[in-house]
């Protein structure tokens, strides 16, 4: 499609699907109403609509947004209209770069809710100020979540969800300082599955290879708790999971060296209990789960028994870090 300086673009975004409130369709209709009042009926009917349902405003890596920017560079519209500023971005740096690029392209940016319009100097200044508060809100929410994880780490509680191979989750009642009983969860060992975990570590140390471990498990007829064959990905997940690590001094030093937040005191690293690591991944709607570096983890000693000795677990982490499927050969034996 060629240039059309008489057109406007509407951009709408929502983190999750809903037909209520500021839904995608409601945002679009509100923007059409604004365009109709500001530019006339013809502009509203001919507006180009770009939508992203189920995407966070944390960055600009969204399909609808990318399509809109491609159309902007092709000169297909003269203004971008959004219902609210944070629909386009919650990041100050991303928002600033966007406004600069739209300015170079001669495209105005309008936010209905905040009554901002970059066609005027005051509008541009006020929009930058609003973007600062939008990012502050996002970072405050993230810090609040992290604070909650810190409090959970002090208790060594299991957060729920799919339990790792080797354990099941059981509910326990605890009494808080205010005298109220609250339901909490902890991991309980399943001996048969724990033997499978030990076998996986032993096979990886013998073969030095995820592929070799996968083949050996299939040859031995060992399957997951759901009756499926283990894959390299599921094997790696087990090998990297600190829940199996028997927490001792070496384990504690490993996390301290990598700048993780360690909440349990040194005496709790007694070589018997396992580790619970909070904030290991970042999950956002519509995007793949991202594994966070160890420095982002919040670590405590759990109430569950560990399965793998620290020496073995740490050795396996070094081997996995080298990516040494064929180069390292078999790994040495370690004391139990």
| Band of residue 111 on the pLDDT scale cut at 50, 70, 90 | confident
251 φ, ψ (degrees, to nearest 5): -65, -45
**pLDDT score for 327:** 40
**172: closest CA among 183, 162, 163?**
183
Burial 268-307 (b: 16+ CB within 10 A, else e): ebeeebbbbbbbbeeeeeeeeeeeeebebbbbbbbbbbbb
CA Rg value for the chain: 26
Tokens 């990886």 belong to 204
The predicted structure's pLDDT at residue 15: 74
The answer to whether residues 271 and 247 touch, using CB atoms and an 8 Å cutoff, is yes
Query: Among 5-19, 84-98, 322-336, which stretch is predicted with the lowest mean pLDDT?
Result: 322-336
What is residue 334's predicted lDDT score, i.e. its pLDDT? 40
Looking up tokens 């209209």 gives 81
The answer to whether 180 and 157 are in contact (CB under 8 A) is no
Predicted confidence (pLDDT) per residue in 53-86, tens digit: 888 777 788 999 999 999 999 999 988 999 887 8
User: How many beta carbons lie within 10 A of that of residue 182, not counting itself?
Assistant: 10
- Angle value at C-alpha 91, between 87 and 93, nearest 5 degrees: 130
Query: What is the per-residue pLDDT for 138?
Result: 56
Q: Reduced to 3 states, what is the DSSP secondary structure of residue 245?
A: strand
One-character DSSP codes across 4-20:
-TT-EEEEEEESS--SS
pLDDT at position 174 is: 59
| Residue 173 near residue 184, CB atoms below 8 Å | yes
CB neighbours (10 Å) of residue 117?
A: 19
Burial class (CB in 10 A: 0-12, 13-18, 19+), 310: buried
Over residues 48-53, mean pLDDT: 91
Strand (E) or helix (H) holding 264 = none
pLDDT digits (tens, 9 = 90+) for 215-273: 999 999 999 988 999 999 999 999 999 999 999 999 999 999 999 888 888 999 999 99
Which single residue is written with the structure tokens 């040859």? Answer: 219
Residue 38: other Cβ atoms inside 10 A: 15
On whether the CB atoms of residues 300 and 247 are closer than 8 A, the answer is no
Apex 286 CA angle, 280 and 290, nearest 5? 20
Cβ atoms within 10 Å of 110's Cβ, excluding its own:
21
What's the distance, Cα to Cα, between the start and end of the chain in Å? 68
Q: Is the pTM of this model over 0.85?
A: no
Structure tokens at 180: 């109220």
Residues 6+ apart with CB under 8 A from 189: 166, 167, 304, 305, 307
**Is the separation of the CB atoms in 174 and 158 below 8 Å?**
no
Structural contact between residues 80 and 72, judged by C-beta atoms closer than 8 angstroms? yes
Confidence of residue 2 (pLDDT cuts 50, 70, 90): very low
Characterize 61-70 residue by residue with b for buried, 16 or more Cβ atoms within 10 angstroms of its Cβ, and e for exposed: ebebbebbbe
Please give the structure tokens belonging to residue 213. 């471990």
């Amino acid at each position: 499609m060629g240039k059309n300086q008489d057109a406007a673009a509407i951009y709408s975004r929502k983190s999750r699907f809903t037909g209520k409130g500021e839904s995608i369709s409601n945002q679009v209709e509100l923007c059409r109403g604004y365009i109709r009042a500001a530019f006339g009926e013809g502009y509203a009917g001919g507006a180009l609509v770009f939508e992203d349902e189920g995407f966070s405003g944390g960055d600009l890596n969204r399909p609808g947004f990318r399509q809109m920017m491609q159309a902007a560079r092709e000169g297909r519209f003269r203004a971008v209209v959004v219902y609210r500023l944070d629909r386009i971005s919650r990041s100050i740096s991303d928002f600033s770069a966007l406004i600069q690029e739209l300015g170079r392209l001669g495209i105005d940016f309008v936010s209905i809710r905040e009554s901002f319009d970059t066609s005027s100097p005051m509008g541009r200044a006020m929009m930058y100020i609003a973007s600062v508060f939008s990012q502050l809100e996002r970072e405050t929410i993230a810090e609040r979540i992290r604070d909650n994880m810190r409090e959970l780490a002090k208790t060594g509680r299991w957060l729920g969800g799919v339990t790792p191979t080797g354990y099941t989750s059981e509910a326990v009642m605890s009494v808080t300082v205010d005298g109220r009983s609250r339901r909490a969860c902890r991991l309980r060992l399943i001996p048969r599955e724990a033997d499978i975990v030990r076998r996986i570590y032993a096979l990886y140390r013998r073969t030095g290879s995820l592929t070799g471990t996968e083949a050996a498990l299939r040859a031995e007829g060992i399957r997951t708790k759901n009756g499926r064959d283990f894959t390299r990905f599921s094997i790696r997940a087990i090998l990297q999971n600190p829940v199996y690590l028997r927490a001792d001094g070496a384990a504690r030093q490993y996390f301290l060296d990598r700048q993780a937040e360690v909440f349990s005191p040194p005496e709790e690293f007694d070589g018997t209990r396992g580790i619970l690591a909070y904030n290991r991944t970042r999950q956002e709607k519509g995007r793949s789960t991202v594994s966070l570096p160890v420095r982002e983890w919040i670590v405590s000693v759990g109430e569950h028994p560990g399965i793998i000795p620290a020496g073995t677990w740490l050795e396996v982490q070094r081997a996995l870090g080298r990516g040494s499927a064929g180069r390292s050969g078999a790994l040495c034996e370690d004391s139990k």
